[in-house]
Amino acid sequence: MIFQKMEYFTEYTSFVQESCLRVLLFRGANKEILNYSNQSPYESAILAGNETIAEILEGHKDDDVGKYTCRENFPSKFSYLSKYS
For 9-60, what is each residue's pLDDT tens digit?
556 677 788 889 998 998 888 999 999 999 999 999 999 999 999 999 999 8
**Could you give the CA distance from residue 3 to residue 9 in angstroms, rounded to a whole number?**
10
Answer yes or no: is pLDDT of 68 > 90: no
**Could you give the CA distance from residue 1 to residue 7 in angstroms, rounded to a whole number?**
10
For residue 40, give every residue at least 6 positions away whose Cβ sits within 8 Å of its Cβ, in sequence order, or none.
31, 32, 33, 34
CA 31 to chain centre: 10
pTM (global) more than 0.75: no
**Of 40 and 65, more confident:** 40
For residue 4, give every residue at least 6 positions away whose Cβ sits within 8 Å of its Cβ, in sequence order, or none.
none
**Could you give the CA distance from residue 53 to residue 22 in angstroms, rounded to a whole number?**
9
